[in-house]
Amino acid sequence: MLISLADIEAAQLHLRGVAVHTPLVPMEDYDGEGRLWIKAECLQPIGSFKLRGAYNKIAQLSPEDRQRGVITYSSGNHAQGVAYAARALGLKAVIVMPSNTPKVKLQATRALGGEIVMVGLASLERKQKAEELAREFGYVVVPPYDDPAIIAGQGTCGLEILADLADVDLVLAPVGGGGLLSGVAAAIKLSHPGVKVFGVEPELAGDAAESYRTGNLVTFTGEQTSRTLADGLRTQSIGELNFAHILAYVDGIVTVTEAEIRNAMRRMIFSTRLLTEPSGAVAAAGALYHSAKLPPSRKAVAVMSGGNVEPETLRRVLSEQED
């Protein structure tokens, strides 16, 4: 069942005083037609949009469920969102993370009080481990994307875009598991149906684009998705509920190369003075390098999903010449 606009508006109330209403920052060196703004989710307390869905989900748990504690599985940003929300609401949080999690995300999750369990590279492996521990210890599972409360929480990002730029005509969001894209698309289309919404994905982890093209959920292997530098988008498949929202509300999905992601990172940092992680640059990369695959636009917004970048990755990207 698809979420409603009322669900997203209720999530806004839960998030009041918790999540930041992040600004739209102009991309001054955008050379396409019209203008491009960056929705700066790097400015959330945990450095990414994931706080929205995690807090909305956990805030609605019953007192009995809160006593049980929560568990999730994440490559980093959702881990921090769950740990932050659990600490704020006084719950225990257990986080299952892959062995290739960037250290900056691992350390931040631990600093927020998350109890970490490490597994292999595959997103399905960490999901299975979390479900196993939930059965054993009674924890409440807080999924990273395939959940109506998570989708509604992420959808508040879309409502903010409309509040700040009422005549926006194109919104781009990155897609991994689909939580952000499905929530933003629902918020936009249920409020302003004429606005175009596109997902953007690394081509090395292009399961969402393939799923959208065929109309059937496609699963990539962990080895395939781990090839992309965009560690926040290494999910092997879109969630089922997310896919239903994407089919209902999204106008298309484009893929970007690794070189385009790195180039977009540099351009965003120098143009907006915002620090982006690779995943956070993916939507902007779609606007910067694939305008021919997108509808004509006068006012476009690319959601920058987060800024939790490894120092070594940042150094390497900034030292490169544009490909």
Task: Just list the catalytic residues.
Answer: 50, 305
- The whole-angstrom separation of Cα 106 and Cα 228 is 19
Residues 98, 119: contact at Cβ < 8 Å? yes
Separation of CA 125 from chain center: 20
Residues 230, 206: contact at Cβ < 8 Å? no
- The whole-angstrom separation of Cα 225 and Cα 213 is 18
- The whole-angstrom separation of Cα 73 and Cα 125 is 9
The number of CA neighbours under 13 Å toward the Cβ of 158 is 38
Nearest residue to 158 (alpha-carbon basis) of 103, 128, 123, 196? 196
The encoded tokens of residue 45 equal 């307390």
CB atoms < 10 A from the CB of 125, how many? 17
Nearest residue to 52 (alpha-carbon basis) of 280, 242, 305, 233? 305
What are the residues facing 39 on neighbouring strands? 24, 303
- The whole-angstrom separation of Cα 60 and Cα 300 is 33
- The whole-angstrom separation of Cα 199 and Cα 286 is 9
Torsion sign over Cα 94, 221, 287, 297: negative
- The whole-angstrom separation of Cα 142 and Cα 149 is 10
